Homo-oligomer: A and B are copies of this chain.
Amino acid sequence: MKLGQATIKDIARELNVSSSTVSRALKDYPGISDETKRKVKELAEKLNYRPNAVALSLRKSKSFTIGVIIPEVVHFFFSTVISGIEEVAYANGYNVILCQTNEKLQRELSSIDTMLANQIDGLLVSYSKETEEFSHFSKLMAQNFPIVFFDRVPEIENTVNVTVNDYQGAYDATKHLISQGYTSIAHLAGPKNLTISKKRMDGYQAALRDHGLEINPDWILPCPMGTQEESMKITEQLFEEGGDFPNGFFASNDIAAAGAMMALKKLGYKVPKQVGVVGFSNWQFCSMIDPPLSTVAQPGFKMGEKATQLLLEMIDNKDRSYDATKTLVLETELLIRKSSVK
């Protein structure tokens, strides 16, 4: 720590008053003479005094710090969410301490441990792909510790969540492909244990059913990694197998969609003329690639803001209780670009 950091005691000593007087003077408490106040504040200014937030945390059992658990920072959607979190936290005088799990459960567990040791006032969580069991969260909730889940929401009881309407987003995207005349639509699906993957899958299937199209299990293609390479390979394999080909792709994320488009190009298929493609998330590159990728935009920044607002409310509300699942669902927006318009 810096040597030069002045404390209340330093001011008190120099002014020959007690530290309580200094403390009160600095906070404009009643019952301190204007003269003393003036002197104290002057010296504080001169010594560049800053209250020690660590001591305050200890004293008040409150750290004004919230923890954020996120799979990875280098991910357009998540970094957008972080940005929203940061804004609201900052505006309310809270610090944000960040841990990325890299999709590892072990990392999630130990991150939570250190954060708790640091007396965070609450936790914002989007859990890892490896997380299939949630007792490390429910234990905390049983102690009334404030947690808000965002995007990736666990299937346990009485949680507070913020998600987007993944079902509707997927439904809209698939319906759009159908309305454009694509009749046989494949789905590049996300990791199975994530609720968002299930919801997107459900929306996709519901749209097919509602429009009298049958669901072909061979065209449900799991892309657990969600990388470009993976979906390229999967798409190529699909076409190599022979038999019927899909003429539309709805991907549960943009990267997979881009990978499919690249594979299609390589295979000599024209997008959107022969095959239509829609992604999910609206990464920045969507409008830059050729053809520009239609996609379902998720309000990441807003999600970060809302989740943080909810968390801060829970923190302020000492008599909070987890008595029911409360989920705030943000609507998606289908952005139609060229990749899906015949």
Chain A positions near chain B (C-beta within 8 angstroms)? 1-4, 50-55, 57-58, 61-63, 65, 72-76, 79-80, 82-83, 86, 90, 93, 95-100, 107, 111, 113-119, 121, 140, 143-145, 228, 255, 258, 262, 283-285, 287-290
Contacts and interface: CB of A to CB of B under 8 A. Distances in A.
Given A114-B95, A119-B53, A144 B3 contact: yes
A255 B283 CA distance: 13
A55 B52 contact: no
A117 B52 CA distance: 5
Contacts of A288: 228, 258, 262, 285, 288-289
A325 to B, nearest CB: 21
A63 B1 CA distance: 9
A143 B2 contact: yes
A95 B95 contact: no
Nearest to A228: B288
A52 B120 CA distance: 11
Nearest to A287: B228
A98 B99 contact: no
Given A3-B143, A86-B98, A116-B50, A58 B55 contact: yes
Contacts of A118: 53-54, 65, 95
Q: Which of A3, A62, A95, A228 has the most CB of B within 10 A?
A: A95
A255 to B, nearest CB: 8
Contacts of A82: 73-74, 98
A55 B74 CA distance: 33
Best-surrounded residue of A51, A90, A144 (most CB of chain B within 10 A):
A90
